[in-house]
Amino acid sequence: MFGIVLVLLLGGAIVAASVRLQRPQVDQRVTIVLLGCYVLRLAVSSLTRTAYIFTTGPASDSSGYERTGEVIARAWQYTGIRYMTGDDMPGLEHTSLPANVFAAVTYFNSGPSHLGCVAAVAGAATFACLNLYLLCLQLGARRDVALGITALIAVLPSFFYYTSDTYKDGFVVLFSVGILGCSVRLAQKFSIVQLGLALLWMGGLWLTRYYLVFAMPAPLLLGVLGLRSGSILRFALAVLVIGTSLTAAYAYSDVPETVTSHAVQTFQGATSTTALNANADTAPGASGVSFEGDSAVGSFLPKLAYTLFAPFPWQSGSIGLQLAKIEAFVWYFFLYRAIRAARMRWRDESSNLLIFVSFIVPMTVAYAFSFANIGLIVRERMGIVLATIAIASLSWPERGYAALRAHMGDGLVPQS
């Protein structure tokens, strides 16, 4: 019963958030698109659980999170509700949030509820789409362009598939894109609320896909510094606060050493021969890729090419790989539009573009070092793709001759 109640509560929250955050100019079409995306994910949730579209076998990680949540819910019946970590269950060492969320659904439902668990993931994905829509508007995109892009993002094959089941990707996108959005808004205007929200998203990301946290400080730091504001006082205060915090952390705690050690271990583990060989499964139907060289930097340029552009048209594989090729062409188009937008807007939007670059480039390089599987990289680069599409929204200038001249005053528009 709670699963059904949760579905309705999240649907209502999506409508309320859409209307509230769009004010004072509320476009009901946005709310309809968001609600439709949420409902569509719930409608196909029973199919994505059994249809092995992007894999050659059962979706072990998604069902694993749900089963672990059921185990945690049973433990709560005896010990009371508390957040379970890797200290309680070894399998939760790096990814504890999804299982605890699903445990809450199971506990309050008095039993398993696949629909309720999917609703949590689908709701997270829908809120991420709303955030991207608002981010496009704040960057200066046209409303019709932002709406069209939001609708397109919501039904991209890999994003749609992995957020219509109990994978963790809905949470990952919500947190990572949330940090990006907060960074841009902080750059425009400093806000304690946005800073607190960014730190909250950072904590959620640490509990979901922890290694991405190491790529998040750069955009957030640029946002806090407020390069766009042009305020020397704000910049000086931000530098003072950051410098004081770092000095105190190094002097009175072992947090910097712990974080550095964790980052090094993460990189070594992800780029180890064992991990790369495990991902580079070249069995029939699999999407693994093997490269020459055992070091992390070996064959880096081919790995970077695969990270950005795979799957390629000539590659064979599962049905999911073929669908990913369609998505790849969409990605190529928006990558081109993003480059075009950067050229058009660099003079006026350099601070915002730097935030996006500081978000996209470290993630791309990190994924390239550990690349060994096409299916995995299509799933992992979702945040990169969505951030790039947000930049691309600026490549369609405002309607009207004056706006075109403002954006293309280098002679591309005839002078009157």
Across-strand partners of 373?
Answer: 288
The percentage of the chain sitting over the pLDDT mark of 70, rounded to a whole number, equals 77
Q: What is the mean pLDDT of residues 316-327?
A: 78
Mean pLDDT over residues 262-271, rounded?
54
Check whether 234 has a pLDDT greater than 70.
no
Distance CA 88, CA 406 (A): 59
How much is the mean pLDDT over the chain? 83
Task: Find tokens 């829908």 and name the residue.
Answer: 126
Would the pTM of this model clear 0.85, i.e. be above it? Answer: yes
Q: Among 36-40, 59-63, 305-309, which stretch is predicted with the lowest mean pLDDT?
A: 59-63
Domain spans of the chain, in order of start: 2-231+267-407
d(CA 354, CA 228): 10
Q: Could you give the maximum distance between any two Cα atoms of the chain, in Å?
A: 79
Given a cut of 80, is residue 275 above it in pLDDT?
A: no
CA distance 65 to 139: 36
Q: Which of 142-146, 303-307, 321-325, 361-365 has the lowest mean pLDDT?
A: 321-325
**Band of the pLDDT at 96, cuts 50, 70, 90?**
very high
Helix, strand, or coil (residue 183):
helix
Spatial contact of 106 and 112, defined as CB atoms under 8 Å apart: yes
Which tokens go with 407? 């954006």
**What are the Cα distances from residue 291, in Å, to 241, 288, 297, 309, 321?**
45, 10, 11, 16, 20
Instruction: Give the number of other Cβ atoms within 10 Å of residue 290's Cβ.
Output: 12
pLDDT for position 228: 64
